[in-house]
Chains A and B, each alone.
Chain A
């Protein structure tokens, strides 16, 4: 297991009705080590989703490369989109099984459902689920493929606070059992501190990395709201280059 390197020299986009392409991402480089949970923090609209789509291979129109241990192979991706994007005409379980090879053991799906507390709704169609539950299904689906990189695009947005906390805790338990490389996009600094090994602060458009920083709080101390708040204040007051972005 080696690192995945993401290099994007230049990504432009053509706004509707314009003839000149505007830069969206410039000189972006990021290393994802095995088992590392990285949070991307930046102002909304700075191009985070564009970045994730490039890494996921959905957007091929850019100058740069995604390097994995095996040359010339793109990394296997698990993607938790902002909306769960479940197939409404397939049950929860079918939605998960669809992303798997036919050889994948059924016990793995059972185990994942159990961990995310969804066993009782596995044969239900997604339209009957709450948003929090749908998000959990989407998280299971992303973990189930054993990804080289797990992309998460603000997966807790528009959940109420208690639900968001519950899903976040379930995610952490799952990730500690199956520590894939995670690239997690958020604009909520508290959430980022609670989850990440490493914070990556991004500038407004055109997007680039402003600063990378390890989170100095131990994993078992992340439920301590005071410690998280203290680190947040320290970031805000101690680093003028990023305080403007938060």
Chain B
């Protein structure tokens, strides 16, 4: 019993240890290089604290998160609806499949530039650019899920007169859930990277705008501080929102 307990206790510490190791390596390299382009962890922590205390970081982070939530919600809702339609109708799918392939392969940067050129440097253009980048992804994933729907259960719902709402809620949605979760995870990762570019190119606030500013000043400590803040927020979303959602939706599995 003893050695096993020690081992599992040690295993629990491993994630913390690995973070400490990473910080230690960073510290070592920073001291060795001794350049203002690679500040030490301590210097970055100090900048981070000051940015938070001044309200600058919370403001820009909040702006970016708001854009993320808005564009993500629009992309997921539209993508799920279109994905279900295409998965259910062979004709629609045959017609729109080419569109999907094209939009999947247009580089994110091109969409962003075109949106700004056509709509001007406005908020709606920024949101639209992110949505267009994410939408095809959601459609394809949800379409796959819809194609895999269990026809036996759909027949059961039909013969018991479930109606559209009940069928969607109790028969189709639970089967699509894993696919939607996959689209959510890959979507958040994709969107927040795209959003920074969108902000860098055409907005005057948000993380992307700030990073651009720091780049012009060669202020690496601020760049790293903002990055850390963002990574932490994304991890919190995973832990506090996505994981619990997964758990409730999967409770029926053995």
Contacts and interface: CB of A to CB of B under 8 A. Distances in A.
B162 A56 contact: no
A79 interface: yes
A104 interface: no
A87 interface: yes
Given A58-B159, A141-B160, 5 more contacts: A78-B160, A79-B160, A87-B153, A89-B174, A99-B160
A145 interface: yes
Chain A interface size range = 20 to 34
B156 A79 contact: yes
A56 B159 contact: yes
Contact of A83 (B152, B158, B166, B252): B152
B170 to A, nearest CB: 6
A88 interface: yes
22 contacts: A57-B159, A58-B155, A58-B158, A78-B160, A79-B156, A79-B159, A81-B156, A85-B152, A85-B153, A85-B156, A87-B171, A88-B253, A89-B174, A98-B160, A98-B162, A99-B161, A99-B162, A125-B251, A125-B252, A127-B252, A127-B254, A145-B160
Contacts of A211: none
Contacts of B249: 89
A178 interface: no
B254 A128 contact: yes
Contacts of A131: none
The list of the 10 closest CB pairs from A to B, nearest first, reads: A125-B252, A89-B174, A56-B159, A85-B156, A99-B160, A89-B252, A79-B159, A127-B254, A58-B155, A85-B152
A77 interface: yes
A87 B152 CA distance: 10
Interface centre among B158, B162, B249, B251 (most CB of A within 10 A): B158
Given A125-B252, A127-B253, A87 B160 contact: no
A238 B162 CA distance: 47
A127 B251 CA distance: 11
B210 to A, nearest CB: 44
Contacts of A125: 251-252
Contact of A57 (B153, B158, B162, B254): B158
A89 B248 CA distance: 10
Interface of A: 53, 56-58, 77-79, 81, 83, 85, 87-91, 98-99, 125-128, 141, 145
A91 B251 CA distance: 11
Contacts of A57: 158-159
Contacts of B152: 81, 83, 85
Nearest to A85: B156
Contacts of B170: 87, 90, 98
A138 to B, nearest CB: 9
Nearest to B249: A89
Nearest to B254: A127
Interface string B167-179: 0001100100000
Interface string B136-159: 000000000000000011011011
Nearest to A141: B160
A205 to B, nearest CB: 22
Interface in B151-208: 152-153, 155-156, 158-162, 166, 170-171, 174
Nearest to B152: A85
Contacts of A126: 252
Nearest to B253: A127
A77 B174 CA distance: 25
A91 B174 CA distance: 13
A56 B247 CA distance: 37
A87 B159 CA distance: 14
Nearest to A57: B159
A77 B159 contact: yes
Contacts of A53: 155
